[in-house]
Structure 1
């Protein structure tokens, strides 16, 4: 990997799930466009937050990144190598370096397996990662790293709380010492106090294991706390991307502004000065997205051009000469800065 080159580079990634009709003779009548042309970069030691409404394609993107789904088109480059073209042992080798923490700590753990077997299972798939005689000790070390008692190796998942189960999932993700962890809404099923503990644990492990994260969530406050850069998704596309300051304090895309206006504000004085944005209509179906800009059917700025031309994800022309925080990529023909929530 050349100096300055992204560790993970995604270009024009597309995943369409076919819609079929018929029993004996199945015929494709359409497709669900879950991911529809996503381009993102992840640098070494960085956390990229991906945020958006339910159904916008975040989880499908996560599964594509770790190879659980095959893309319809597009490319995923890991350390400069196109991993979408790999299969067999070559793909298995890459998967060792890109691991996943799943959303639901209840269903992502096999209830018939002990914690020791769950965390040690990656060693069965990748036996070169740890000698067989050394695996129990490795598993106990991992449990201790994530804040669990090493003696819990013989317990079963039902004997743990939700937060403890997610720690087990994190330990399993760390077993092979990956470079990248894709965390698919890892705290959405947990209580608020437990969410903070798990997020703090992830930050601690990032420093300790030199990890890079793709952190997916719909809670904007959690994403801001942990992320270096943020990508906002809507209907399978990236609407806006930038640093946490650029996205939260200087949003230029109408969808990002609407999302931020819906975030609960604990300070009554700040809440009174919040610029509340109420969107009209429902989220379009990914099986039949709007032409042009996917957000145009709910956008108060929509014009005829929005229906005819897909806006590119780029720095808007009016901000290209600027060096301020509004200088970041936004997929909107009429992007403009709007302060939705008073700055802290």
Structure 2
């Protein structure tokens, strides 16, 4: 399997950093440290591409999404879209950028206002951005586009199932005709059968509307189904990035290999002969990450070099896709 042909670069993220201050005191607060939630992330999203971002809980995936949406202010870094830096944008320029970059939230139960009808929820972006025309007709069009009955425009969120609510969230994200949609674990709160329906809907919309996705998830099976490329995050940094084939068949970073070995296999015979990598120890605190390679405290390949030098995210001899490991090697753990 060859890597997919990529379109022109659409969003370029460089040196993205978000450090949350740790303070002490009540009346006179002093800064005693910082949580390094995102600590130097670089990637490029191409036109028409779905880029998956995976990793354990707490690795910085959702914080990265919020930085790209400017729901959090970055400590440092740039995110350039159409020649404009999202991180530095202000006022009207930021408002215009937000029409092009929208987000689907993780929890369909809390991301919709229970006091608003779905019609009002979907129409809200149109009102905020001053989009004229027949808004009611536009809302009905969006409901039909995501597979909901346009006649249910006056219903409230509690009258829909979880999967239907997430479709409402997707319709709201599409209201302003964005070019990029950031999906922050959009199916993690749904039943497995509903997950498949929502994933299929996202793929259909991408094909019809020419969308580009940043798809954040912890389920590697879901990511493999929808994503063209995959970036693996650990403790605020990307440790490996490559095409679906490169990551799932030829992973070179030990952390990626461990994640892949833990993916459930439906075949009982294959399960019995599978060598699962069991990581020891806890994930280090992002307030005090290890020196050198951040994964070295849990890595079976770690040496003194790993503690002394932080391995850059560059192509390795084992495989030409970027990996942040001094001792990168091809994986023996493959998901079929």
TM (normalized to structure 1)? 0.94
| 1:79 Cα deviation from its structure 2 partner | 1.6
Aligned length: 331
| 1:327 Cα deviation from its structure 2 partner | 1.6
The 5-angstrom pairing of residues 105-120 of structure 1 reads 105-120=108-123
Partner of 2:149: 149
Which of these residues, 320, 340, 344, is aligned with residue 333 of structure 2?
A: 340
Distance 1:139 1:36 in 2: 40
Equivalent pair of 1:255/1:295 in contact (CA under 8 Å): yes
Distance 1:117 1:109 in 2: 11
| 1:34 Cα deviation from its structure 2 partner | 0.6
Partner of 1:170: 170
Equivalent pair of 1:10/1:41 in contact (CA under 8 Å): yes
**Cα deviations across residues 58-95 of structure 1 (Å, max 9, x unaligned)?**
00001111111111001110022222111111101001
Where 1:89 maps in the other structure, the secondary structure is: helix
Where 2:314 maps in the other structure, the secondary structure is: coil
The 5-angstrom pairing of residues 10-159 of structure 1 reads 10-127=13-130, 129-131=131-133, 134-159=134-159
Q: Can you give the 5+ residue segments of structure 1 that lack an aligned partner in the other structure?
A: 320-325
Distance 2:9 2:187 in 1: 27
Which of these residues, 317, 320, 329, is aligned with residue 327 of structure 1?
A: 320
RMSD: 1.2
Partner of 1:160: 160
Partner of 2:3: none
Q: Can you give the 5+ residue segments of structure 2 that lack an aligned partner in the other structure?
A: 1-5
Where 1:259 maps in the other structure, the secondary structure is: helix
The 5-angstrom pairing of residues 140-289 of structure 1 reads 140-289=140-289
| 1:5 Cα deviation from its structure 2 partner | 4.5
| 1:191 Cα deviation from its structure 2 partner | 0.3
Which runs of at least 4 in structure 1 moved beyond 4 Å after TM superposition?
A: none
Equivalent pair of 2:68/2:86 in contact (CA under 8 Å): no
**Cα deviations across residues 9-29 of structure 1 (Å, max 9, x unaligned)?**
000100001111111111111
Distance 1:252 1:273 in 2: 21
Equivalent pair of 1:6/1:79 in contact (CA under 8 Å): no
Distance 1:167 1:78 in 2: 26
Equivalent pair of 1:291/1:308 in contact (CA under 8 Å): yes
Equivalent pair of 1:261/1:277 in contact (CA under 8 Å): yes
Where 2:276 maps in the other structure, the secondary structure is: coil
Equivalent pair of 1:261/1:340 in contact (CA under 8 Å): yes
Where 2:169 maps in the other structure, the secondary structure is: helix
Distance 2:291 2:83 in 1: 34
Partner of 2:301: 301
Equivalent pair of 2:15/2:40 in contact (CA under 8 Å): yes
Equivalent pair of 2:112/2:169 in contact (CA under 8 Å): yes
**Cα deviations across residues 281-316 of structure 1 (Å, max 9, x unaligned)?**
001111111111110000001111111111100012
